[in-house]
Structure 1
């Protein structure tokens, strides 16, 4: 994932110099993102797993789809649906394995800081409704859900094609989704269409 971040940063200056500098902010946008998720397991829970002979793989791939509305140049609201991957448990002395799967949907308010007519940084704060299920050998053992806070930061580059009044943007962002006693981090790269 570090490669995605570095490539994005190196990509921005050349694109900014090559593109026109005066455009109207597009109000509605839709997009998707893909990246890496990490379940932040508490030290107490991790110790409990290890004591029972389990090791935990807390990193996976995740993705999301989002719909946004740009209130003005400095603020936006977004709704989203996300799959946050799964964490895997495996027993060191047997073939027993388990997984914890996580999905969520919600909304957030974004504060936007224009750094250039086409480059922006943003921070977000919102709420999400999550579902978590624990499975062992394919059988569901436990299901849980709730509503908690989410927050994140990111940056985006907006490209305005000369042949259209619409726009396309690429973004990179970090988000944290709180889930009761645990949390999930999503570091992703995405693309959106503005119209």
Structure 2
């Protein structure tokens, strides 16, 4: 049988989806972030906040929207104070029953009260990596690292948050 191995692999992959089928639904979360930049014209870092809502289709794929306070920076060429609204897809890999590694990719619409970043608002890409741990059945914690392009600068955002899965 020429396609026997491929058919067996597909059957095995589909059969594992039922075992984790309850790991889906709406979720909300929020936490603190640390925003850093390599730009020499701005200060080194600032603390900020993130709130998000999403829908987990299964342990492998989720779609998420977020509002992020990008923080405030004071620099020699001007100041920066920004916010971002994000839409991203999360591609996850479960590790055991409670841990999930994920990569995210999406876009964010940002608004900055400064000319240090070039434009005062725009739409740019965002991407990142993270890990989630389900502490209880519907409550979990997340740690993630994201890169956000904001005009002429790149912001590195590290977030620690908690979420509630419905």
The aligned residue for residue 165 of structure 2 is 194
Report how far residue 22 of structure 1 moved.
7.3
Among 78, 89, 96, the alignment partner of 1:109 is: 89
Which consecutive residues of structure 1, in runs of 5 or more, have no partner in the other structure?
Answer: 1-20, 50-55, 92-97, 136-141, 162-166
Among 38, 42, 45, the alignment partner of 1:40 is: 38
SS in 2 for 1:63: strand
Give the CA RMSD over aligned residues.
2.3
Question: Matches of residues 22-171 of structure 1 in structure 2 within 5 Å?
Answer: 24-41=22-39, 46=40, 49=41, 56-89=42-75, 98-134=78-114, 144-161=120-137, 167-171=138-142
Number of equivalenced pairs: 146
2: distance between equivalents of 1:160 and 1:148? 35
SS in 2 for 1:57: coil
2: distance between equivalents of 1:129 and 1:152? 16
Structure 1 segments of 4+ aligned residues over 2 angstroms from their partners: none
2: distance between equivalents of 1:125 and 1:187? 15
Kindly indicate whether structure 1 or structure 2 has the higher relative contact order, using CA contacts under 8 Å at least 6 residues apart. Answer: 1
Which consecutive residues of structure 2, in runs of 5 or more, have no partner in the other structure?
Answer: 1-18
Aligned 8 A contact 1:114 1:120 in 2: yes
Relative distance call for 1:22 and 1:179 in structure 2 (3 A) is closer
Report how far residue 133 of structure 1 moved.
1.2
